[in-house]
Structure 1
């Protein structure tokens, strides 16, 4: 099912419980434009709330994921020049929170499929997803230092939690280009696949998560997020609370039946989509 995003610069389709959101400015390496950004914010919010969607897959058209902000247009935003520093900061805060902040907060699995370059804000969007799958030809760069900027979309926070503070400092300060192989070695992406297999494998991965036990996946993400800032005793307590709630779901009961009967489980979300 195709979704009307309000612009051809962002495409969205829903299939098998997966919302595939495609940044669609291949001629500009899918740089974020004034038309694409609000459409992307809206789709993350709407598909996140859509009961037919079990997972989000974000990718880019052509040979790039997203090259970040539209650098060519950065010096020609006359309407922004009249804003005070405080007004501009407030505007950027809500705009960025509605993209990477919304992705981090989403309780559904999110996957970024990188067919090529992911730089600046584009890298931040990929980092805000749970899983990153890269084509063999993909490269990433923080990019900001090369254009005299410090970073946005929460990239320093996201990068530090993905590759650790030492690597994050190196990547932010140097803005070096990192190829797919090194990205996988340092944990920046989860897996690398052949270029011609990226879309197929990323969708299959997203579909497997979309058809999973949604309440359990929600709680798993809660546990993982909290693991970064709570002590072990608190983690045990909260895991126990969530586990008990999951044990009472139909999906858990179905998983137990499937185990006993030696067959794949048919979780409720998947049954609704295929009924």
Structure 2
């Protein structure tokens, strides 16, 4: 196991192709401070450029995923002139936007290991994940309204794509708290796993992604992302080109051979 980088409030390690990134400020309920956003953006950019990384798992220390923005840190802004306060928040949100864009540009599978509450900008890491494994304590909290704010961290872009327009409006406008069973029903999480089996389930899911054909996974993610705004003819052309690229790979040759020989595939890109 090797560390990727050191950053305040974050811990990260790479083991067997799985990069684990943990929000690690349990005393602050793993709130994402401004000091964390730029290093996290760098970690994500580095992961995208590192062939050793085949899956990314996000989690939180101490039984909490993330409280989102560091509201306690907002206290200083109350003493500032309004214009200065606005400028400060614009700069803060520009850093957060770069972090979210880096997250969405990652072309490896992303797993969110959701224990306990997640709120505010922390929701982006759950909404952007390819797989969300939750335990019974998981709660998604859409609490921006409670402090007179609007959603940030890409939540207004991601949430309607996950649950649909009407449900997204209800969750955001009512400052909803969504417990694990409702989150499963809405598609906000993919499975609920009892606490004792949680770590093993997350590890198995991540290992499965790490063994998958990397380039095919990346192309599939790009196709699905592009489909949100594409015409049918444009999307069919993208699918054609992605298949043409895929059949030129050693992963395709191994996949077909393994299928015909009735054995598990060992994709070259996952070794």
Normalised by the length of structure 2, the TM-score is: 0.93
Over 3 Å off, 4+ runs:
77-88
Matched, 1:71 2:52: no
- Per the alignment, residue 249 of structure 1 pairs with 249
Question: For the Cα contact (< 8 Å) 1:80–1:88, is it kept in 2?
Answer: no
> Is the CA contact (8 Å cut-off) linking 2:38 and 2:99 kept in structure 1?
no
Supply the distance in 2 between the matched residues of 1:170 and 1:6 (Cα, whole angstroms).
39
Structure-2 residue corresponding to 1:221? 221
Contact 1:123 1:140 in 2 (8 A): yes
Residue matched to 2:127: 127
Q: How many residues align?
A: 270
Q: Matched residues in 1 for 2:239 and 2:255: separation?
A: 19
SS at match of 2:20: strand
Q: Which residue of 2 aligns with 1:140?
A: 140
| Contact 1:103-1:129 at 8 Å conserved across structures | no
Which residues of structure 1 form unaligned runs of 5+? none
Q: Tell me the distance in 1 between the aligned counterparts of 2:235 and 2:205.
A: 28
Partners in 2 of 1:79 and 1:52 — Cα distance?
Answer: 47
1:233 alignment counterpart:
233
Work out whether residues 18 and 54 of structure 1, in 8 Å CA contact, stay in contact via their aligned partners in 2. yes
Rounded to whole Å, the distance in 2 between the matches of 1:243 and 1:79 is 57
SS at the partner of 1:75? helix
The TM-score, its normalising length taken from structure 1, stands at 0.92
Please give the residue correspondences for 1:192-207 in structure 2 after superposition, counting only pairs within 5 Å: 192-207=192-207
Partner Cα distance (2:84, 2:241) in 1: 48
Question: Contact between 2:77 and 2:85, CA under 8 Å: does it hold in 1?
Answer: no
> Equivalent residue of 1:172, what SS?
helix
Q: CA RMSD in A?
A: 2.0
The residue aligned with 1:53 is 53
